[in-house]
Amino acid sequence: MISALLVMAIGAIVLGAALGWASVKFKVEGDPLVDKIDTILPQTQCGQCGFPGCKPYATAIAKGEADINQCPPGGDEGVRKLADLLGREYKPLNAEHGIEKPKSVAFIDEQTCIGCTLCIQACPVDAIVGAAKQMHTIVADLCTGCELCVPPCPADCITMEPIAETVETWKWRYPVFELKPVVTTSVVTTDHPTRAA
Amino acid sequence: MYNAPYLRQNNSVSRVMLKVMLALLPGLAAYVWQFGIGILIQLLIASVVALVCEAAMLRVRNKPISRYLLDGSALVTAWLIALSFPSIGPWWMVALGTAIAIIVAKHLYGGLGQNVFNPAMVAYAVMIVSFPALMSQWPAPHLSGAEQWQLILGNERVLDAISSATPLDALRTGLHSGHGTVSTVTHGHAAFGWLGGQGWEWIILGYAIGGLWLMQQRVITWHIPCALLAGAAAVAGLLWGIDSAHYAAPWFHLASGGIMLGAFFIATDPVSGATTPRGKLIFGAAIGALIVVIRTWGAYPDGVAFAVLLLNICVPLIDMYTQPPVFGHKKD
Amino acid sequence: MGHTDRAPLLRKLFNFHGGVKPNANKQQSAAQPICTLPLSREYVVPLHQSIGGTPQPLVVAGDRVLRGQRIGAADGNVSSAVHAPTSGCVVAIEERLMPHASGLSAPCVVIEADGLDEAAPRENFDWRSASPDAVRDYLRDAGVVGLGGAVFPSHLKLKANNSIGLETLIINGAECEPFITCDDRLMQEKAREVIEGVALMAHLMQAKQTLIGIEDNKPDAIAAMQAAAQTAGQSNISVVAIPTRYPAGGAKQLIRVLTGIEVPHGKRSTDYGVQCFNVGTAFAIRDALENGLSLTTRVVTVTGNVERPGNYWVRIGTPMHELVEHAGIKPGTERWLMGGPMMGIPMPSLDVPVVKATNCILAGSAELFAAPEPEMPCIRCGECAQACPADLQPFEMYWHSRARNFGKAQEYHLFDCIECGCCSYVCPSHIPLVDYYRFAKSEIWAREKDKTAADQARDRYEFRNYRIEREKEEKAARLAAKTAAGRAAIQASQQTVTGDAAPSETADDPKKAMIAAAMQRAQAQKAAAQPQNTEHLTPAQQAEVNDAEARRARARELADQDAQSIGKTSPSADTPNKMAD
Ligand code: SF4
Ligand code: SF4
Ligand code: SF4
Ligand code: SF4
């Protein structure tokens, strides 16, 4: 009886020690919730969520002050990921904050730009270069497509252009299922068969 | 529009299933030869019920009916059920079992390819738990066709006279009753033949021939059957080595009950089985060992169904831990 | 067979897991000698034809170019130049449809041939006396890339690992894809040149031994190559017949078959002491180094549902329809593939050009390639795993890719998949497995790109906030300092008003002094603040900024010119006519 108790006790102690050691050894480096949420947000910094940037929105979500469906650039997938992370129910994007749009970059018409620097001040990621009274240009690589530079421009020379797909950025599509077998009607054209296909 | 590869091997699910059914024929022939035509009636009942249930479920789940019906998977399930159920059970037993297999074990889990458990074995387990007596009545050899027909119709009055327990059952009851050794139980009992059960030797030979053909056709790999038989033989051999008076010999185990059917046709069901080579070995060996354990100490006459179902649960784990090394990542 | 099987008997070959044996269908195109395609009227040369950066165009519309003239300069070292396939006039540099599954366009140099086919003067380059680096640069500028289909710039591969050297140089003549015979014919007809190219590469890489692997269904090529190696007296080069099994011609599989070494995904094979080139590449390297010819032509197999299947010497940039019309289009063709039936890609149209990656054009009809049967659920039969040459578990990858569970798919080594198609070939459920892998891979790449962009945006956003914060603080500090200094100055001036002789203007009016000082500071501050948002730029971004500045400068000039003489503007003000290197 006593030996059994002893065995149990020793077992418990050993296991406890092992668990304690493991928890110290394999401690996940403090990745606070805000940072985890922030990595999911698209970092467009557009403010459509009602906060001045992605980080503030992340903070608000973490504190429970904001819902998870307020970021249009993150889109549906973003909401899903947030729901996943926070263990909440998925809900569709709140249209009050805007709708999901294809990714675009800003483009300044260099002929019209008067060099007022207003857009530089608006750009949250410093994607616009230029100096006072000189023409301004947007570094397309850096532009997040937040559209914040569009309204301040007094010359209305900034437009948003959707990013076109190129051979390099093209993605293979999700394989589609053909539920009904295709009736094989062979395309018979003599000169350029593939044009018909 | 579809993409490369544009060449396809001439293979399909229905071909695979057809081959499995062909491979069952030798065993089936031996069955008929040894025990009469009852099994054929059961086979017919199971097939019809399986097709009807399958069609109904496909209808309910809004799937293309003809394509899935023709894949043959429901028929294979039906045949396995018929072959593992007693061939003189009343007709509704095999019908109910088949319906459970198709509706519950297959379609409620998501249909072809999604079932976690082997449908035929689910049916077997459910029925033997619900109707232990009926599920343990096996035909005595050379029962006439008319008598079998009566039994299948549910005419139980003839039952006592002409049915018999399986050798496994007889041995278990004999040993459990406390007095008696393997040799006293088997000696002079009509159910025991020269190796295992009387008549069963031939059926098992038939299954083995079919199974080997399946291997040759590359429908199944050697891993699961070999590991299963080896696992069973190892455990049985160990027990027999310790006490040959109270434990049956390994060859008796291999030649009795559903073990051959299980090794070549049931445990090799790809959907609910392990998939990696090492995983298949573990999966098979564990089933084999469990079969003997259940037969020896369990409350049911045969252990194939429970062993397979238990190991079905472990498949994700087994697969996860036995992933083969990838090209270039092998350790020398 | 005769002497062809002597070497294979001596050599121990290794096996790779899986693989399939589809009907080879090589006889249709393998019988006839390679013909030369007549010159066409127009050539479309895509600038981006190899792995790596897109070359910068060196010509503008209206320029006359000569055959072999460089028209696109390699963009950095991981890139490869492109050349004019014939003499003629550049009519445009514009987006043209690419031979790519996307059906998208990319910048091309369009050349109208003048029919003279005048060659550009050859550069005098003696590779024997040049340094290895110079040879590599030369090959980059000669546009030599892997012609087996991967179009990896060859100059990047021609470098052994310094610490271990190169044990085995492997030359890939396996050509395992059904239907394709361009390497087969090349080896039969140009065995001497290929062997010379191989010897040259072996010399450049200081290879200890060289193995040429050829599938044993090409006895003529094996015989020709063996004879050529013998004639050339290259005892270090052995021609090895390997068993015919798809994909034995995959670089990794061939390395494994010949040496037993498995090169893991993402690792350089030279780190394992081996390197692998295609026979066509060997020929091209020799052409470049010995004859000074840049890569403007290659052998292309045209086969399948065409009147006259065969092989052709085709100039890079030839419109594909000219080539297939030459081979005779047959009715019933449903699709045109670039490459073989196992890995080929469907062409969006025949208006695309032949590029360096075009080893084969395959006309597919319903008889040749039956439409796939409807997809059934995976029954986990494991056929695919048994066929996979990369030892993967394709159905697990399929399962997770299909569920868009990309992390899991990667755990099952999605990126080790070479997209050979063996798994789809054997699957009894007719699942387009490879399509799922291609989908998953491109999604993962896109996500990684998005993530990098987001991280960059976050950094820049945080930096900007920090900068604004700092500026605010500095402003506050300056304000405080300024007021303090001003007071002190006033006090000082008041003290010195009566005392000193040379009273300065500022001293006269302390307030004026303060304003002047403030203006000076403001100016300095402005100068300092302006370039701040262009800190931390990558070279590419810097280049973009510079471009923009240049455009501005030009625009200003134009504006000035306009002011001086209205209407006199040069049309070519926008041509970046810079020579790389
Ligand atoms: S709405 Fe804009 S600012 Fe808000 S989280 Fe989304 S991207 Fe960031
Ligand atoms: S350039 Fe305009 S659209 Fe782009 S990031 Fe800056 S403010 Fe946003
Ligand atoms: S071959 Fe097809 S059905 Fe079989 S396991 Fe692979 S994917 Fe599934
Ligand atoms: S395509 Fe990928 S998964 Fe399929 S067989 Fe080839 S390497 Fe394996």
Q: DSSP labels for B44-90? A: HHHHHHHHHHHHHHHHHTT--HHHHHTT-HHHHHHHHHHHHS-TTS-
Distance from CA of B97 to the nearest CA of C (A): 22
What is the C-alpha to C-alpha distance for residues C295 and C85, in angstroms, rounded to an integer? 9
Confirm whether C197 is domain-assigned: yes
Give residue limits of the domains in chain A. Answer: 31-97, 102-197
Residues C278 and C378 in one domain: no
**Atom 6 in ligand 2: which residue has the minimum CA distance?**
A123
Instruction: Say yes or no for a CB contact (<8 Å) between A195 and C349.
Output: yes
What is the C-alpha to C-alpha distance for residues C486 and C511, in angstroms, rounded to an integer? 8
Residue ranges making up the domain that contains C358: 3-11+28-365
Residues C243 and C98 in one domain: yes
Question: Domain tally for chain C?
Answer: 2
Instruction: Say yes or no for a CB contact (<8 Å) between C416 and B327.
Output: yes
With a 6 A CB cut-off, is A123 part of the ligand 2 pocket? yes
At residue C209, what is the residue type?
Q
Confirm whether C522 is domain-assigned: no
**Atom 5 in ligand 3: which residue has the minimum CA distance?**
C380
Residues C263 and C193 in one domain: yes
Residues C330 and C428 in one domain: no
Which chains does chain B touch, 3 or more C-beta pairs < 8 A? C
With a 6 A CB cut-off, is A128 part of the ligand 2 pocket? yes
Looking at chain C from residue 368 to 387, which residues have their Cβ under 8 Å from any Cβ of chain A?
Answer: 371, 373-375
Which chains does chain C touch, 3 or more C-beta pairs < 8 A? A, B
User: Angle C548-C553-C556 (CA atoms, 0-180°, nearest 5)?
Assistant: 125
Last residue of a domain, one of C365, C384, C410: C365
Count other C-beta atoms under 10 Å from residue A99's C-beta: 10
With a 6 A CB cut-off, is A148 part of the ligand 2 pocket? yes
Confirm whether C113 is domain-assigned: yes
Output the six-digit token pair for C145: 């890339």
Q: What is the pTM of this model?
A: 0.82
Give strand pairing partners of A145: none
Q: How far is the CA of A95 from the centre of ligand 2 (A)?
A: 22
- Ligand minimally distant from the alpha carbon of residue A146: 2
**Atom 4 in ligand 2: which residue has the minimum CA distance?**
A143
Helical H runs in C65-190?
A: 132-141, 154-157, 182-189
Query: Is pLDDT above 90 for A7?
Result: no
Distance from CA of B76 to the nearest CA of C (A): 14
What is the C-alpha to C-alpha distance for residues C338 and C358, in angstroms, rounded to an integer? 6
Q: Which CATH number characterizes residue C93's domain?
A: 3.40.50.11540
Nearest to C332 among A128, A179, A188 (CB): A188
Q: Which of A36, A46, A82, A94 has most ligand 1 atoms within 8 Å of its beta carbon, as the pocket-test mutant?
A: A46
**Atom 7 in ligand 2: which residue has the minimum CA distance?**
A123
Region A26-34 average pLDDT: 66
Question: Rounded to a whole number, what is the largest CA-CA distance in chain A?
Answer: 95
Closest residue in C to B12 (Cα) is: C428
Residues C455 and C423 in one domain: yes
> What fold does the segment set A31-97 form as a domain?
3-methyladenine DNA Glycosylase II; Chain A, domain 3 (1.10.15)
Last residue of a domain, one of C336, C365, C394: C365
Confirm whether C437 is domain-assigned: yes
Residues of B in contact with C256 (CB under 8 A): 327
Q: Which residues, including other chains, have CB under 8 Å from residue C114's CB and lie 6 or more apart? A: C64, C86, C87, C88, C89
For helices B13-35 and B38-60, give the axis angle rounded to 10 degrees: 150
- DSSP for B4-15 reads S-----S--HHH
- DSSP for B229-278 reads HHHHHHHHHHHHHH-TTTS--HHHHHTSTTHHHIIIIITT-TTTS--SHH
Residues C338 and C439 in one domain: no
Output the six-digit token pair for C187: 């080896």
Give strand pairing partners of C56: C73
**Atom 2 in ligand 2: which residue has the minimum CA distance?**
A149
Task: State yes or no: ipTM above 0.95.
Answer: no
Q: Which of A101, A107, A118, A128 has most ligand 2 atoms within 8 Å of its beta carbon, as the pocket-test mutant?
A: A128
Each residue's pLDDT, cut to its tens digit, for chain C (581 residues) gives 444 444 444 678 999 999 999 999 999 999 899 999 999 999 999 999 999 889 999 999 999 999 999 999 998 889 999 999 999 999 999 999 999 998 899 999 999 999 999 999 887 788 888 898 999 999 999 999 999 888 999 999 998 888 898 999 999 999 999 999 999 999 999 999 999 999 999 999 999 999 999 999 999 999 999 999 999 888 889 999 999 999 999 999 999 999 999 999 988 999 999 999 999 999 999 999 999 999 999 999 999 999 999 999 999 999 999 999 999 999 989 899 999 999 999 999 999 999 999 999 999 998 889 888 888 999 999 999 999 999 999 999 999 999 999 999 999 999 999 999 999 999 999 999 999 999 999 999 999 998 999 999 999 898 988 988 898 888 888 888 878 777 777 776 666 555 444 444 444 555 666 666 666 666 665 555 444 455 555 666 667 667 766 666 666 665 555 545 444 333 333 333 333 33
Closest residue in C to B1 (Cα) is: C346
Query: Tokens 């990309």 identify what position?
Result: C406
> What fold does the segment set A102-197 form as a domain?
Alpha-Beta Plaits (3.30.70)
Residues C435 and C296 in one domain: no
